[in-house]
Chains A and B, each alone.
Chain A
């Protein structure tokens, strides 16, 4: 059989098998709402502006109001949203903007609870950014508010809405990875994590992430999003956590560590090694699953599979798009790759056409407008946040933390 014949054969057989793994995923398609929805964003810092940017791209969404206690951020946000009303207090927005049906909460983590409870009490659908809270008590209060609400409540964790992660999960749950032997995740970005303000009096409030009384550190603020990936794939959370941290680069008087690592152990003896730093950007944010047949590497907008030499050939991967990483060859995890490649449309390094946030806010709005189930519930958000908080505690105290299943609603 010639190479061409072989590939044709594989397209007709193996490729079809691969497609069968992903029947329900319209990969990276534009969000299309069945109807119109009027929303508001509370918190117009970096994340609030990012949410506004993605909402702007979704047809049928009207951002009618924005809110921020910082006048500079409010002014800056208003220039980025067409025809929007502005508020400096979230209660004023909730009382005044009666046409708003859904609220996006992107305020500092430790303020989520108050805004969430007020928004739910006002009868609004709520998308609350993750981590949900900076204390376990607030996490539980937010989860209780969502449970007692008749409106749609969703957590701003993006893995479950991310087409790359949904696709890779089908491979993880098939025989492609086989026996899981280890897990690793990192979040690296060279940045101070410091927020300046044109008003010096506001600087302390804006720098809540650097305040040990309020901050849950890198493990809480960044790790929470990644810990949910492992729960999404495996359906289980760690049973014990230990870790350590230090200030390696930003010696500006801060007490919140700029570099951390943690070991999260699971009941089946597998371990997730987590590391994060604000001192270096190499390889950014990613999660890796190591299996006896293959490793899966996820990097938010991209995903790859690295097969072991002795792993059985499944067919579809012979024709798949590949990327070279030093001595390793990664198979790009993207749906319809075989079809795109045969049409010459698949370029090296192809990934999501939109940022993961686009799909996260899109899923929430589909739940609001079409009554489809919530993709990432507040309860899932609370569980991931609890792990983030406990990991930060393990790092701050140096103690090994045993995870109480009752805190995760699993007791």
Chain B
């Protein structure tokens, strides 16, 4: 009987499934692990004025702000994906998200504000000093928004902690869009996770990802839609133009790290193709590739709590 735990954080629900002996110990380990998620939520929440992220946002325009190792590691990952994706992934996109109305419930587009916002976006205006472990903004108005990567980062933290505590069999998902696995379910060769075909054309089968000691993340513009200048747009913007990413119905990435998978799936949704600079150990799954190369079977088979993406 697996042990299941859940926590509400980052505007969604995280679920953790653990298998093994000693259910009391498993639950205690699971609780400790889920606290990593609530800690990430309170540290990196753009919408919480008291968060560590907003402390950085307020201060880094005026001075170099010292960063702890974890924050530096997260921001450095974001910088790598920004460079590798040619700017398609950019954590300084917040002013554009705000002007477009995507940061407000029931928000609407403010066309006049978009041009101003566009001038305040660009990871090149964020200086990360590797030696001093500091951050400094070189342009006024820069605001970091970790919404496209924090979930994956929190999942990586949990997986790391679970391994430290000897957990050999676990599955964790955040909001059914990013998931990571340790080992395999008992008597199975992988954790099987299905991407419903409503993201793709009706002719295409569901995609089933087989996870074992790796992670998957899926980005889709339909996750949240708002009306902008007379048309419905998805919640993922191209930071280079301020326009909604509308090239494809979804992008998925499988790889060793949930934070990289999370960030790269957003980048791929914007780009519509796999860039050369994407790390070799990250596998990109785009709709047209899926036509040619099914990922695995199209049946969901799991004896434990399956997670439908």
Contacts and interface: CB of A to CB of B under 8 A. Distances in A.
Contacts of A82: 66-69, 133
B21 interface: no
Contact of A79 (B28, B32, B70, B166): B70
A355 B55 CA distance: 14
Contact of B35 (A46, A53, A250, A252): A46
Interface in B180-224: none
Interface string A341-366: 00000000000111100100000000
B14 to A, nearest CB: 15
Main secondary structure of the interface of B (DSSP, over half): helix
A358 B166 CA distance: 34
A52 to B, nearest CB: 8
Interface residues of A, number: 27
Contacts of A194: 24-25, 27-28, 31
Contacts of B59: 59
Contacts of A195: 28, 32
B275 interface: no
B164 interface: yes
B166 A56 contact: no
B106 interface: no
Contacts of A353: 48-50
Contacts of B42: 53, 355
B165 to A, nearest CB: 5
Given A49-B39, A79-B69, A195-B28, A354 B133 contact: no
A299 interface: no
A197 B24 CA distance: 13
A352 B164 contact: no
Interface in A88-130: none
B29 interface: yes
A196 B50 CA distance: 30
Given A57-B55, A59-B59, A83-B66, A196 B133 contact: no
B235 interface: no
B77 to A, nearest CB: 15
B98 interface: no
A355 B28 contact: no
Interface in B6-35: 24-25, 27-29, 31-32, 35
Contacts of B29: 196
A220 B171 CA distance: 36
Nearest to B69: A79
Contacts of B165: 196-198
Given A72-B164, A194-B28, A53 B69 contact: no
Given A194-B27, A195-B32, A53 B43 contact: yes
Contacts of A53: 39, 42-43, 52
Nearest to A50: B39
Contact of A57 (B27, B50, B164): B50
A24 to B, nearest CB: 21
B32 A83 contact: no
Contact of B70 (A59, A80, A252): A80
A207 to B, nearest CB: 9
Given A56-B55, A355-B50, 6 more contacts: A72-B164, A79-B68, A82-B67, A196-B32, A198-B166, A358-B50
Interface of B: 24-25, 27-29, 31-32, 35, 39, 42-43, 48-50, 52, 55, 59, 66-70, 133, 164-166
17 contacts: A49-B39, A53-B42, A53-B43, A56-B52, A57-B55, A59-B59, A80-B68, A81-B68, A192-B28, A194-B27, A196-B25, A196-B28, A196-B29, A198-B166, A252-B24, A353-B48, A358-B50
